[in-house]
Structure 1
Amino acid sequence: MKEEECKHLLESLKACPIDNTFKIIGKKFTVHILRNMTKLGQTRFNQFLDSVEGINPKTLSARLREMEKNGIIEKRIYAGTPVKIEYAITKKGLALNPVLESMAAFSMQYCSKDIFKDGKPRLLKEIYSKPSEAA
């Protein structure tokens, strides 16, 4: 990109796109909830509460509301006794999957000593492969 084109692009920005994305997913536990929805198929409040280490019910409620407000997830309420509430990831939320995968790939490659017991780097597909792909 030429310097003049770059200047024009920067002048057209209202905000930094990276900063804006961070405002949407950067709060504590948001990416953990997204990870659990996309990788583990979790949809229920108690599933998140049990699997996201260190989260409490008040914080989980706040994050789910924020994610819903931002259009990342949607809340589905099913009538019955008791009322059943599930959360579903939206198309907009699914579009964040490559971002999360890039974050994971970075850590697995460059911070492997911090995340793996043997300290050896791994590829994303080695960790998040589907059962049929692992064979």
Structure 2
Amino acid sequence: MELRTLDSCSSCPVEFTVNLIGGKWKLLVLYQLMTRETVRFNELQRLLGSVTHRTLTRQLRELEQDGLINRAVYPEVPPKVEYSLTSKGKSLTSILLHLQDWGLEHMDEPAAE
């Protein structure tokens, strides 16, 4: 595979992808949704640990707006909301699996000094 250098960053495919999935929480949200069929908000927040309610809400909204996740609201009391990957979101599975494999390979290495 050949890497291309593009003059205009706005047409850079890597920048486009990073803008969609970049940031600490978006990748982790996508990974959790990849490993499960659907996830409710509170379960997702528990799985991610230290993410705040506000931050998770914002990240989920952005992922939904970008067409990477579905948000299903069920008319119940209390309201039930479930998140899942769209087909566009599922197309990121191989990237997420490569990140997982790379992490597993390098997690135990000592940090560079």
Normalising to structure 1: TM-score of the pair? 0.70
Give 1:56 shift: 0.8
Q: 2:9, 2:15 within 8 Å by CA — same for their partners in 1?
A: no
Identity, in percent, stands at 29
Pairwise CA RMSD of aligned residues? 2.3
SS in 2 for 1:71: coil
Higher relative contact order (CA 8 A, sep 6+): 2
Q: Which amino acid aligns with 2:42?
A: N
Mapping of residues 87-126 of structure 1, within 5 Å: 87-109=83-105, 111-114=106-109
Gaps of 5+ in 1: 115-135
Q: 1:76, 1:87 within 8 Å by CA — same for their partners in 2?
A: yes
- Structure 1 Cα separation of the partners of residues 102 and 78 of structure 2: 43
The list of structure 1 runs, each at least 4 consecutive aligned residues, that deviate by more than 2 angstroms after superposition, is: 10-14
Judging by fraction of residues, say which structure has more helix.
1
- The yes-or-no answer on 1:27 pairing with 2:23 is yes
User: Which structure has the bigger radius of gyration?
Assistant: 1
Q: How many equivalent pairs are there?
A: 107
